[in-house]
Structure formats: structure tokens, C-alpha cells
Structure 1
Amino acid sequence: MPSRNQNDVARTETGIGRLPPWLQWGVVAGLSVLTTVPLEIAGLPAALLIGPMLAGIAVALAGSTIRLPRFFFFVVQVVLALMIATMVSKDFVGTFRDNWLLILLVVTSVIGMSTLSGWLITRTGILPGTTAIWGSSAGAASTMMIMAEAYGADARLVAFMQYLRVVFVASFATLVAHFGGHDGASVPPHAWFKPVPMLPLVAMMAIGVVAGLIGQKLRVPAGAFLVPFALASVLNSSGTVTIALPDWLLVIAFTLLGWNIGLGFSRTILVHARRALVPTILSILALIGFSGLLAGSLILLLGIDPLTAYLATSPGGLDSIAVIAASSNVDIAFVMTLQTARLILVTIIGPWLARFVADRA
């Protein structure tokens, strides 16, 4: 595979690469609106990320030479860390304490199944190194992309696998919501400029940025994400700080993350993705089916409703699951407890597990 610099040189000779950078950014921004609005209207979870990612891919394949500056990607990681930390609340701690054994069993089962899928794809040689393992990992999609890059995997192929699973899981969630007797499983209208106390927001962002810089300084893998996430989770769950992020900030963060992923694509990457499409879809269907069995077990053991059980065991991105749960009549505390526990466990054991499985693949 040619290096990024080689790709950049080639792209300057044709297509959009001939335009000045500011005009290239204008093209990707305008195209992002065209790709995102239909997805938002359709109520697709994570539309604010997938739309810009598709626009970035299209512009990159058209010869674009622009890349998201590292500083902006750093800020995106901090915002995502704070967003996910808001899910770690007192309800999370209480629910986990009451059901910790069952939660760990479900979470480890999903992680084990997803790791097995990644191992099988790696054995075929379709994807290089630990890419298939990270791409199949049952963690939040954005988190896995960040950590995969830190550990040397191809973040673009990881993103392809992760977000393809997000689309599948979101689609199945609609069916489960229908047959489970739930209405309104679509994405609610966004209150884009809902007032948010600015002083706590600025203070929390400052804390997150400092924590991220410390993580990078100490060379913690994915430290710009993990260190702010850990600190904000403790502060939020203890009640010391209440984290409130405005929708417009999340829109910017998701858009920039989508551009960062999309603009890194190349024809070579898509050729690899095309080869991996069928195995990836089969692994996704197998993982969804397995999660469905786990959801059935929760229904029988705890008597919870089907949609709560499905969302709790779902291998989709935590952010998209949160959107569906928030717009449905489900036990949000239970859903987010299992989802957050899965994220934390994958974050802790993911690097070791990826290396361990890759070495034996």
C-alpha cells in the first residue's frame, strides 16, 4: 500500500486536488450537508457522523489533498470522551452492583464472539494485521477507531467494519422496536441551540484538554481519549461535576470525526474493503444473532422487555444505541450500564486481546 505522502502527491495531479485547500473544504462541507440531511430525515442513528464520512470518502476519491489538522482531531477525542463519560452515572453504578455477575457474563460473551469473528477474518488473510480484530471488536465505533490507530491497525478499514455494523444494528433495532410493541424508536428532533451553562462547559472542556495532553505526554495509547474519559467518568459518577454538552458541539465533533475518517480513504483502501465486505457482513449477522440469543436470556431471567434486552446486548456503537434508547420507552439505565460496561472492558482488555489473538492468527 502506498504511503499517505505518496497518495497526496498523486492526488495533487488530478481532480479536486487542483483546487486551493479552502475550496476543497467548501466542497466537502457542502457535500456533507447533502449526505447527512437524508440520513437525518430517515432517522438513521449516527447520521451526523456517517454523512460527513461518506462525503469525505467521495472527496478523497476525487483527488482531494486536504487532511484534518491533528489539533482538531485531538479536540474531537476529548469531546467524545466527555460524551461517553456522561453515561457513567450513579444509576450505572447501582445497576451494575445489583446485576454485576450477569452483566459481566453478557459483556464477556459479546466480546468473545466478536473477537472470534475478527480472528476468523484475520485467518483468511483478507485484512492485514490486527485490523480485522479491531474492526470486529464490540466497542463504541469511534472509540475503536481511535484505539486501533494508536495500536497500528488501519483505522480506515476498522471504521468501515465498525460503521457497517452500526447501520445493521440500527436497522434491526427498528424491527425489534416494532415487534416489541414500542413506538417512537426514531431519532428525536435535535434542539441544536438548547441553552447549556457555559461556565461548567468551558471548565469541563479545559479539564478534558489538560487530561488529554497529559495522556499524550505520558504516551498512553489513545491517551487523548482514555485519560479524559477516565477522569470525567469519575467526576460525573461521583456527582462532583455534571457534564452537559450542547448538541451543536456534538454535531461539530461527529462531523470532524467523519471527515477525519473519510478523507483518509483511498482507492486501495476501498479495494480492501470490497474484498472484506462479504466476510464482514456474515460476521455482523452472526454477532447480531448471538446478541439476540443473549437478549432472549435476559428476557427469561429478568423479565425485561425485548427492546431493552436487545439494546443492552447490542454490538452497535454506544452513541447510536444511546440515541435509540433515549427515544424509546425502555430502561435506559440498564441499557447504558451494559453498553458502558462493554466499552470499559473492551478499553481495558482490548489492546492485550487484539495482540494476543493476532499473534495466534
Structure 2
Amino acid sequence: MRQRSLDFLVWGAILAAMAAVGELGELGEPVIPSPHLLMPLACGMLAALNGLVRDHRPPAILSRGCQALLGVLIGSYLDTSALSEVVGEAAPLVTVTLATLVICQAAAWFMVRFNGMDRATATLGMTAGGSAAAIASAEDLGADGRQVAFMQYLRLVLIVVSTPMLLSWFLSAPRPAPGGAPAGTSWPLVSGPDQLHGLLVLAGIAVAGQITGRVLRLPSPATLGPMLMAALVTVTGLAHGFAPQGALRTVLFTTVGLEVGLRFSRRTVWRLRRILPATLLCTVIVSAACGTLAWVVSRFTRIPFADSYLATTPGGINAVLATASSMHADVPLVSSVQGLRLFAVALIAPVVIKLTLRVWTRRQRGPGPSA
């Protein structure tokens, strides 16, 4: 018990320091994308590469808690009121979103077929959107969290860097307003005005969701159970204002980023160089395909290309929403389509992994006696 308490104190101090480092990533120009994920991940990598740490795993309850809170956060994005406002315009974009998922699966097949990557890692790594959830659930699904993080963040950085430049280049989009997207205060812990009520609802959804996930035998139950529970509560209107925000969201992303970063040993980094060319190629192809589909939608509908491009960009929902706000795009449309895809990805990816692994196992065993 004493050792466990000491572990929590040590990890608490580490997370506080990493959260401060993440805050620094939001101060400079240009702003680092998802700094509370990328900065702790980079620090964890440096510590692991230099042999400064031995045990890279946080306490199990902390890891599971982060997965549950991620699930609640994703489920809270399924806002039916926002979707109903843009349902007429969002219909073709939802079709493009489904096509994006198919394209990502084709890219995952390429990584398996020509780069020797296992199916679970390829599927999670090439899935568009939900990078934090994909990384957090990698171990539960038998994937390599380090390779998943590498593939997800490579795509995230490329998209965040290229999106404003491409829109400005092709559309002569307005320059971002001074100060960029409005920065939220770090003091609130949940999105609603009543913090105590929101925290109680958040805890209830997280616990009930994990129990439900295990009872239903969902893949990655610590994430999918709370996600489905939060989506149900949000859609039915039973409760609002429970989504992690501010300092709680910072600690959540910091934990995920640091945990993954600490797994990057020298041997792991040496192995990752082998998948860099294929990952970069697939990322560029997926992004180009999504851009082409967005152009087709804008060509045959009244949706401006900037809105359709931002709504269908494969990943980086927070950075995309900030870009949409600074460029005066249709934020409700972008957030609705991006949130719907994030929810669908987090729900579908584990199921796809389980099904493909089952089919692959049957093929490896060969035909039965009846054949």
C-alpha cells in the first residue's frame, strides 16, 4: 500500500511537470499541434532513449481511468442538436466520411501486405481520427502502441501543418485573426457550468461504461463502454456538461502521450525507421484522396470547398476546429461531421480488427476435415 501511494505521488509530480511542458507548446508561434499529447510524448521518448526510466507503465487504475475518460469525451461529441442543424448539408459529407474509412482500410491492407505489419497495428495506425483513443486502446487490441502512435502523429502533424497553407493557397482564405482560436481557461474540469454535478455524472458514466463494456464483451471495453454510455446520455438528453475540459482534459492527454513516449527504446526507434517510407506514402495518399472527395462534394453541392475539406480532413479534430474558426468556416458543419466520424472510427476500428484477425486465423489454420 505504501509503495502504491508513492507511485501515485511520483506519477502525479511527473504529470504536473509534463502538463506545464504542454502549456509551453501553446505559447509560441507557430502553435504546436496537440501539445499536451505531443510534448509529453517527446519528453517520454527522450527519457526512454537515454535510459532515465526503468518502469514505463503508470499505475493500472490511472491508465484505465484515462481510457474511460477518453471514451466519455468521444461519446460527448455526438451532439444530435448540432447534427440536426446541418443534416441537409452533412449527408454527402457523411458519405465521404464512410468512403474515408474504406480508404484507410485499404492503406492498412497495404501496410500489412507490403510492409509486414500486423493487422491490428496497421488498422489502428491508419485509421483517420481518434488518435488518442487509438493509442490508448492499442494494447487491449493486441497492437503495437509505439507504431500506432508514430503513424497517427505523423499524419496529424502533416495535416495540421498543410491544411491552413492549402486553404490559403487554393482559396485565398482570410488570414487568421490575431490570437487565433479562443483559448479556454484551464480551471474548469468539465464542460458544464455546474462543476460538481458534471464531475459526478462523468464518474458515473465512466464506471458504468466500463462495467457495461466488460459485460457486453466489447473490444477495448475500458474505452468503448464509456463512449457508448456517454453517447446514449448525450443523445437522449439525460445529462450535459460532463465532457472532460480544461485541466482534466490536459491531464488525460498528458498521461496518454507520456505513457506511449516512455515505450520508445533505442531498439524500437531503430525498428520504426523501417515503416517510415510506407507510412508517409499512405498518409499522403489518404489525405489526397480525402481532398479529392471534398472537392467532388463542393463541386456538386452548395458547400464551399473550405468547409467540405475541413469536415473531411482525416484526423486532428481539435486542430481542424481551431483552423475552421480562424478561417471563418462553417464550424457547426465541420464539428458535426468530424465528431460523427470520430465516434464511428472509435466504434468500428476495434470491431474491424477482431473480425479481420478471426478471418486471418481461420485462413492460417487451413480447411477443416470436411474439405
Give 1:1-361 correspondences, 5 Å limit: 30=17, 33-34=20-21, 37-38=24-25, 40-41=27-28, 42-63=30-51, 64-66=53-55, 67-95=57-85, 97-98=87-88, 101-179=91-169, 180=171, 181-184=173-176, 186-193=180-187, 196-215=193-212, 217-218=214-215, 219-244=217-242, 245-355=244-354, 359=360
Check 1:28–1:353 CA distance in 2 against 1; reply closer, same or farther (3 A cut): closer
**TM-score if structure 2 supplies the norm length?**
0.81
Q: CA deviation at 1:111?
A: 0.9
CA contact (8 A) 1:236 1:243 kept: no
AA aligned opposite 1:325: A
Letter in structure 1 aligned against 2:227: F
- Uncovered stretches (5+) of structure 2, i.e. residues with no partner: 1-6, 365-371
CA distance in 2, matches of 1:175, 1:142: 25
Amino acid of the structure 2 residue aligned with 1:300? R
Aligned partner of residue 71 in structure 2, secondary structure: helix
Q: Name the SS of the counterpart of 2:237 in structure 1.
A: coil
Amino acid of the residue matched to residue 221 of structure 1? P
Aligned residue type for 1:286: I
Uncovered stretches (5+) of structure 1, i.e. residues with no partner: 1-19
Count of matched residue pairs:
342
Per the alignment, do residues 51 and 187 of structure 1 end up closer, same or farther by CA in structure 2, a change over 3 Å counting? farther
**SS where residue 36 of structure 2 aligns?**
helix
Give 1:295 deviation, angstroms.
Answer: 1.3
1:53: Cα distance to partner?
A: 0.8
Query: Deviations along 1:224-271, whole A, 9 cap, x unmatched?
Result: 221211121222233321125431111111111111111122222212
What is the SS of the residue equivalent to 2:219? Answer: coil
CA distance in 1, matches of 2:265, 2:235: 42
User: Does the Cα contact within 8 Å between 1:106 and 1:294 map onto a contact in 2?
Assistant: yes
Partners of 1:40 and 1:226 lie apart in 2 by 34
Secondary structure, counterpart of 1:241 in structure 2: coil
Distance 1:28 1:73 in 2: 13
Q: CA deviation at 1:135?
A: 0.5
Hey, what's the Cα distance between the residues in 2 that align with 1:348 and 1:30? Answer: 33
Q: TM-score, normalised by structure 1?
A: 0.83
**Structure 1 CA distance for aligned equivalents of residues 61 and 326 of structure 2:** 33
Stretch deviating more after TM superposition (180-189 or 243-252): 180-189
Percent of paired sites with the same residue: 25
Q: What is the CA distance between 1:312 and its match in structure 2? A: 0.8
In structure 1, what is the Cα distance between the partners aligned to 2:151 and 2:33? 16
Residue type of the partner of 1:131? T
